[in-house]
Amino acid sequence: MLILLTALYISNVSIPINGIDNPLPSIEKHGEVNFNLRVEPDNWIKFSLGIGLWDYFSMKAGYGGKNIVGYGDIDWSNEVWVELRGMVYNDGSNSFLIGYSTIPYLDSIPKGLFGVLGRRQGIGPVAISLNGGLNYNFERKLLDGFADLYLNIGKPHYIIFEWTLNSGSENQNIFSLGYQNQALPLGIQVDLKDIFSDNIGRGIQIFYRESF
């Protein structure tokens, strides 16, 4: 029984789809459903549901608001957020993804159109993934850059280092750190944002990924 549970545990561990605030070059697999709850340091709570339509294409819808937990009125978002992803190339080690997202992240700015390259390399029990990309927000006419490095240690444990240029903002070159643990389909991620500033943000993500 213990061996069976261990096998199920390992088989359900999936490669992360997002870092902290940046997309990674991976998508929900065909028939996979991904529910995500994000509690942000700026008092936003965001919900999203992603579905893998094919092995190379996924879509996501999200919604959220400020002051959901607390006193007074809730400041709901004025729109439902949408994200589309297409896997252009993936050989297991190298990958290239393009997508479009209206989900707001840093300074409440959506990524818009984005492309991200990734390289994944296994070294013994540790897998290292280096990813980098560009995104363009059409509404604000902003070109931005980002990069992520994550370490996969012993299957369920991920340590994520993230950089975002955050162009067009007074607060640029944001470095963040996260830890993710996925047990069976359920996972949790704890994030520290802008770790080299005097005002470090703390966030948490809870997600559930299941294939049908």
When pLDDT is cut at 50, 70 and 90, the band that residue 14 belongs to is low
Q: Are 57 and 27 in contact (CB under 8 A)?
A: yes
When pLDDT is cut at 50, 70 and 90, the band that residue 15 belongs to is confident
Q: Which helix (H) or strand (E) holds 5?
A: helix 2-11
pTM: 0.88
Is the pLDDT at 52 greater than 60? The verdict is: yes
Q: Are 99 and 83 in contact (CB under 8 A)?
A: yes
Give the single-character DSSP code of 31. Answer: T
169: tokens are 């903002």
Place of tokens 């993500």: 205
CA distances from 57 to 14, 16, 63, 140, 195 (A): 16, 16, 21, 27, 33
The b/e string for 46-82 (b: 16+ C-beta within 10 A; e otherwise) is bebebbbeeebbbbbebebebeeeeeeeeeebeeebe
210: tokens are 């299941």
Give the single-character DSSP code of 106. Answer: G
Question: What is the per-residue pLDDT across 104-154, written as a single tens digit (0 to 9) for each?
Answer: 987 778 999 999 999 999 888 899 999 999 999 998 899 999 999 999 987
Question: What is the per-residue pLDDT across 96-117, written as a single tens digit (0 to 9) for each?
Answer: 999 999 999 877 789 999 999 9
Domains of the chain, first to last: 2-66+77-211 (2.40.160.40)
Task: Read off φ and ψ for residue 7, nearest 5 degrees.
Answer: -65, -45
Q: Amino acid identity of 91? A: D
Output the pLDDT for position 2.
37
Count the neighbouring beta carbons within 10 Å of the beta carbon of residue 22.
Answer: 25
